[in-house]
Chains A and B, each alone.
Chain A
């Protein structure tokens, strides 16, 4: 792609100082933590996944100079700051419970989430999980919802979770927030959201072979005829 020359004064890069696991590096301002580490010479195997904020591989703990508080964020979505001390978390060894999705109808259990994740009951409402979340999810609120057996609210509040594990890393009660929430979302979608009638009907039609003949006609159609059909097809612009 064409990148035109930048102005003279901009070619002199502004540098900042960062400390990677204690070692000092000078890197250009404006890089993300991830690209700054690469600039400094690190080649990732762990700690780097989608590079776009969707996978949770690059969970990072840092603090800035003269700050005592630890902050948590994704390395691919956070710009470097001068005086940043950082470390990436390569792996999160949280326990995950196996279950059979066909056997977890919430109607048949008092609190299905608690049955599998008993430690949810140990939540002390400290809100550390919420503060740790790089997605700004109300993590403690969904843990409390789970405790009350409100599967819908647990599912909806946790929906943007990317499974980075930072909440569980910080939790004094050793709750496995993200694994529990994954189970909640599947239970909600399967048992509490109504099924689509339109879809069921279409699947039935397909099983009866309703579209077979028309489909074969198109598959065998010569290109010019098919092209004409495509160009003249009716397009629904508003719905």
Chain B
């Protein structure tokens, strides 16, 4: 056995090995609706009332959101509108895309297909082009393309998985567009896993009734993102990196008319005037809702949510947060990183400290996560890590026994690499997991064509809500950013062709400040956050706020 586990954890691993032969062909029944409700109510973090509160101002006043989101909505702008010279326009474009991840890049490619010239598009992104949760997705993308499957079955799975809170028209768009998206990916040259005859290798996911998950090893998100980025580069679509938007711009007619950007390295601002603006900033994992660790990338700080809300776009389903059932729980260096659901799709079972199988491995994510938390903190059957965290085993060696030796190396190279670096061989030993903050289920309200209720603004990907209701199924987020990034791009293009803009204004920002004041909200907080704070406490305590000038 490897150096990766201390002795007392190895004792527990022995129990897991002992029960393996009797578990191998067993699959516990999926929970009935009552049992599922009970475990959610008692153990899912979303169901803790103290974790969220009503928003006091803005277009969705009275709706509930996690405390961490509320703090950003009830915060001042990063800019003082009187400091910004709107008469000097730095970029005058047809379409401004805020965010250079999956949704933003798909939107740009789709707008070009609709006849917008690449030079009339601008992608502004906070980090590098491609730095996003899209890049990190591992498992795959759901598309109902097999004979025994259909978009209708996909629809039913998605809306049931979302507890029937999804917007039906958005789920229809998601599931009906899916095959067309995959066809487009085939034409772009994405290297999906295929059978000899060219049909796709497909796996099930939590809550899916068919084998529908299309993957590229466990680097699916990376493969899609790097091909999309490559194509955007081939088309010479302009990208401003390290230049996030800090506030949307409106015009005298009340339409969205671009944004104020800020160069993160020089702090210089730029004014972008755009006939259509697409919000594609992704999710909020780096807010660490309820102090959970997260699978998300460094820039996932809900910026688009804040800017869109200030500009008048309502939000929905933000009170529900997706905790991925299996984040790494040991070793400490990788706590919270994603252990893809594909590990369970391939046959690994979650088992407790005594090696007992306690849940069906492929429940919808919220139920599976709640069941893991119950096993650790309700039933007391978790394994304590050297740093005091608890987790359960994910019995990965079972995959090799079920699907043959070498399956893990072949299907999960990123996972193998992650654990190998810290002395754990997941083909021989189980890995320890605990739920981790993974996805923003809700977001800005959109229409099926990707437009928001505020004219001139479109949205796609994790920043928008309604597609997944209160719980997203595995494999529907890669699909979401493709379907709604594409719809946003197409409709932003047709809007740009006929739009005419009035004078630029930041009045909505001033008005929001006024609303904060009227609601009696006194705070120093500013938003959007742009980047999370991880510097050491000791350093920050001694930090001098001095600007050094030459």
Contact = CB atoms under 8 A, between A and B. Distances in A.
Among B200, B417, B434, max chain A CB count under 10 A is at B417
A185 B144 contact: no
B536 A38 contact: yes
Contacts of A68: none
Contact of B27 (A10, A163, A231, A237): A237
Contact of A159 (B148, B210, B219, B533): B219
Interface string A59-101: 0000000000000000001110000000000000000101111
Given A2-B377, A199-B145, A239-B210, 17 more contacts: A5-B388, A10-B387, A41-B536, A43-B534, A44-B531, A78-B421, A79-B422, A155-B191, A159-B223, A188-B191, A189-B186, A190-B186, A211-B152, A215-B151, A220-B168, A233-B156, A233-B160
Classify the secondary structure of A's interface with B.
Answer: loop
A6 B529 CA distance: 32
Interface of A: 1-6, 10, 30-32, 35, 38-46, 48-55, 57, 77-79, 96, 98-101, 135-136, 155, 159-160, 162-163, 182-183, 185-191, 193-200, 202-203, 206, 211, 214-215, 218-220, 223, 226-227, 229-231, 233-237, 239
B8 to A, nearest CB: 12
A163 B131 CA distance: 12
B418 to A, nearest CB: 6
18 contacts: A4-B384, A38-B535, A39-B535, A41-B536, A41-B540, A52-B297, A52-B338, A54-B135, A77-B418, A78-B421, A100-B234, A136-B417, A160-B414, A194-B198, A203-B179, A203-B183, A206-B180, A211-B152
B192 to A, nearest CB: 8
B210 A206 contact: no
Interface centre among A1, A162, A198 (most CB of B within 10 A): A1
Contact of B221 (A54, A196, A203, A234): A54
A179 to B, nearest CB: 9
Contacts of A51: 297-298
B417 A53 contact: yes
Contacts of A229: 156
Contact of B198 (A159, A163, A196, A203): A196
B130 interface: yes
Contacts of A214: 152
B200 A196 contact: yes
A196 B145 contact: yes
Contact of B188 (A190, A195, A226): A190
Contacts of A206: 151, 176, 179-180
Contacts of B404: none
Interface string B223-264: 100110011011010000010000000000000000000001
A46 B151 contact: no
A131 B33 CA distance: 54
Given A40-B536, A196-B186, A239-B202, A52 B337 contact: yes
Contacts of B413: 160
- Smallest CB-CB A-B distances: 7 pairs: A194-B198, A186-B189, A190-B189, A230-B160, A41-B539, A39-B536, A189-B189
Interface in B111-158: 127-128, 130-131, 135-136, 143-148, 150-153, 155-157
B529 to A, nearest CB: 13
Nearest to A101: B189
Contacts of A194: 194, 197-198
Contacts of A220: 168
A81 B193 CA distance: 38
